Amino acid sequence: MRPASKSLFAAFAMLATAPGAATAADVKGAAPTDPALIEKIRKSNAECYVCHTEAGLKNPPRADMNLAELAKFLHDPKQFDGSNHTGMECKVCHGQGYVAFPHAPEAKKSISECGECHATKALRVETQFKDSVHAKNLADRFTCQTCHDPHVYKVAAKVGDPRKIVAQDNAMCVDCHNSDLRYGAISAALPTKKVRPDLYATHDWLPNPRLHWSAVRCIECHTPMSPVKSLATSHEILAKDKAEKACVTCHSQDSVLATRLYRFAATNVGSDLGFANASVLGSAYVVGATRHPLIDRAVIGLFGLTVLGLLGHGAVRIVMAFFRRRRAS
Ligand code: HEC
Ligand code: HEC
Ligand code: HEC
Ligand code: HEC
Ligand code: HEC
Ligand code: HEC
Ligand code: HEC
């Protein structure tokens, strides 16, 4: 039984009641379906894309722009359309300060935070996030946006394919943990000015870490199971000495991956060659975590035959011994 995605969506339905910059209808409405509304949003966002895309940089609509600056802030409309926030106007989060160019000097201050629209959910996440190593040690330099680009991020439950979830979620960590530049910028606040530990060296106890990282998420080992049912994952990144090291956590029939990563792919169960352990097996073979009803039955059948064989063999021997004794007497 995998109630995960249902409760996830129920949880997000709760977001709808959160007060904030967007109206309740905004959050509940998901991506709009009314063609007139879609057209209105497309036009509104095109006003930003005129400048904030590769095409805009190539053909700037005005001469008085600092193109080197603009080049730092380019966006991909396709990527935005694939994100959680597709169907939203840029202005809903960015406010009116960015409508005119040059942008209002104070515009940045009024960009909406996640919690303004996702009050309930953000609050739950925040309590876990506050206990993470990042929030504890790096304080307010580390925010939700450090990991979640609101223009790009798509919630795992809507991505579905475990490989794609792993790629997206691990990129959040690796983009910093594998980059001296980003890691250095944020750890400069630490009294120790911590040098970035090499990820491959610190995980050398794990066979083929690269392969593991294409198949499992960092958070699978670095966070506890979420105590809050409505949250699929915990945001409490634990200190390294509390990280998961036991192979059987995943390499067993009761693999935690079934309740974590693969919960999103639950609908595919049974479609791949009849294996009953999630769609995992369609894309990855987790040694030790496989289950196949046919193989199970075949094994039970073989066991039964063996027992019958043994019993039969025993019976024949008893009968033969009986006859032998009779012949002898
Ligand atoms: C006429 C071109 C143009 C248009 C239209 C435009 N921008 Fe910009 N924007 C720029 C340039 C150039 C910069 C680089 C910083 C600067 O020179 O002010 C920038 C910077 C930004 C920044 C980052 C700067 C900061 O300090 O926060 C944001 C955010 C932004 N724009 C959002 C928007 C949004 C949202 C829209 C649409 C409502 C929009 N822009 C429309 C040209 C434009
Ligand atoms: C759900 C809210 C939300 C929506 C919708 C949104 N943005 Fe943003 N945007 C943000 C936040 C928050 C930041 C600040 C990120 C940070 O602190 O680094 C930001 C930053 C930016 C920046 C500057 C930083 C960068 O890396 O480029 C630009 C430019 C920008 N947004 C453009 C847009 C455009 C264009 C759209 C519409 C297609 C849009 N945004 C829609 C929330 C949003
Ligand atoms: C101005 C309001 C607003 C802000 C600010 C905002 N969001 Fe959203 N968010 C929305 C709306 C509207 C949706 C679409 C609702 C839906 O699809 O059910 C959404 C959808 C989502 C979803 C997907 C919900 C689902 O079940 O598909 C996630 C996750 C999410 N946002 C996370 C964030 C994060 C993280 C931030 C901050 C970086 C943020 N949001 C900022 C309005 C906002
Ligand atoms: C260290 C990186 C990191 C930070 C910081 C972070 N998140 Fe996340 N977040 C993740 C990862 C990884 C996931 C798992 C992807 C998923 O389930 O969609 C996630 C999932 C989510 C989800 C959807 C999953 C669910 O359980 O329903 C929401 C909503 C969310 N984060 C909001 C936030 C908010 C709000 C903040 C700030 C208080 C925040 N996140 C800070 C990495 C981070
Ligand atoms: C923007 C940079 C950045 C991002 C993104 C980031 N981290 Fe970190 N992380 C750091 C820094 C800097 C430290 C060091 C903090 C310290 O030692 O006090 C750290 C510490 C850690 C530690 C603790 C190490 C220890 O010594 O106990 C773990 C585990 C960790 N991160 C995992 C993750 C995971 C998993 C993600 C993605 C969900 C992630 N990080 C995302 C910068 C980042
Ligand atoms: C299979 C479980 C597992 C996975 C997957 C995993 N880690 Fe780890 N990680 C650990 C364990 C266990 C340690 C502690 C190792 C030790 O101290 O010997 C650790 C240590 C760390 C440290 C501390 C390094 C140091 O020496 O300070 C960081 C940072 C970290 N991991 C980040 C990540 C990131 C980022 C990912 C995803 C690319 C990831 N981990 C994937 C189990 C895992
Ligand atoms: C967080 C879950 C998780 C943990 C913990 C974990 N693994 Fe894995 N492991 C996986 C997954 C998922 C794969 C499947 C990768 C694939 O083949 O696509 C895998 C694959 C493997 C493979 C096959 C590699 C290959 O080259 O084909 C070996 C061997 C392995 N793991 C050994 C270990 C050992 C030993 C440990 C403990 C030190 C361990 N794993 C811990 C999830 C995990």
What's the domain range around 68? Answer: 21-111
> Is 83 within a domain?
yes
> Is 51 within a domain?
yes
Question: What distance in angstroms lies between residue 223's CA and the mean position of ligand 4's atoms?
Answer: 12
Domain count, the chain: 1
233 in ligand 4 pocket by Cβ < 6 Å?
A: yes
Question: What distance in angstroms lies between residue 319's CA and the mean position of ligand 6's atoms?
Answer: 65
In this model, does residue 8 exceed pLDDT 70?
A: no
- Please report which confidence band the pLDDT of residue 230 belongs to, taking 50, 70 and 90 as the band edges: confident
Model confidence, pTM: 0.85
The three-class DSSP label of residue 15 is: helix
> Is 76 within a domain?
yes
pLDDT at residue 302, as a whole number: 62
In this model, does residue 236 exceed pLDDT 80?
A: yes
- Please report which confidence band the pLDDT of residue 276 belongs to, taking 50, 70 and 90 as the band edges: very low
pLDDT at residue 179, as a whole number: 94
- Please report which confidence band the pLDDT of residue 287 belongs to, taking 50, 70 and 90 as the band edges: low
- Please report which confidence band the pLDDT of residue 177 belongs to, taking 50, 70 and 90 as the band edges: very high
Average pLDDT rounded to a whole number, residues 201-229: 92
Q: Which atom of ligand 5 is nearest to the CA of 219?
A: 35
> Is 41 within a domain?
yes
> Is 33 within a domain?
yes
172 in ligand 4 pocket by Cβ < 6 Å?
A: yes
* Burial of 174 per CB tally in 10 Å (0-12, 13-18, 19+): middle
> Is 71 within a domain?
yes
Q: How many angstroms separate the Cα of 54 from the Cα of each of 47, 59, 61, 78, 203?
A: 14, 9, 13, 12, 38
32-46: b (≥16 Cβ within 10 Å) or e? eeeeeeeeebeeebe
